[in-house]
Amino acid sequence: MTGKNCPTNKWGIKDYPLASLYAPVQCFKNLYEPEMALKNGTLFEELNLPFMGDSVYKGGCCRG
């Protein structure tokens, strides 16, 4: 888009990385049994973070 009200400087994301990754090393401790791991969606007990839904979090804030 060009026009007399458009800024002359160009800004974009071409020089920025697409993404960054942070992946801590996972220790094999507090493991679920296979049946419980399938039920919870994770083998690691410490990663079992159940979805709380709208009933607990409204607009990003806990109103518990």
Mean pLDDT of 18-41: 88
Q: What percent of the chain has pLDDT over 90?
A: 27
Looking at residue 8, its pLDDT comes to: 62
Residue 37 pLDDT exceeds 90: yes
Residue 32 pLDDT exceeds 90: yes
Looking at residue 10, its pLDDT comes to: 62
Pairwise CA distance, residues 11 & 15, whole Å: 10
Q: Determine which helix (DSSP H) or strand (DSSP E) holds 35, and give its type and residue range.
A: helix 34-40
Tokens of 16: 């920025």
More confident residue, 16 or 47: 47
Q: Determine which helix (DSSP H) or strand (DSSP E) holds 61, and give its type and residue range.
A: strand 61-62
Distances (CA, A) of 35 to 10, 41, 43, 49, 55: 55, 10, 10, 17, 28
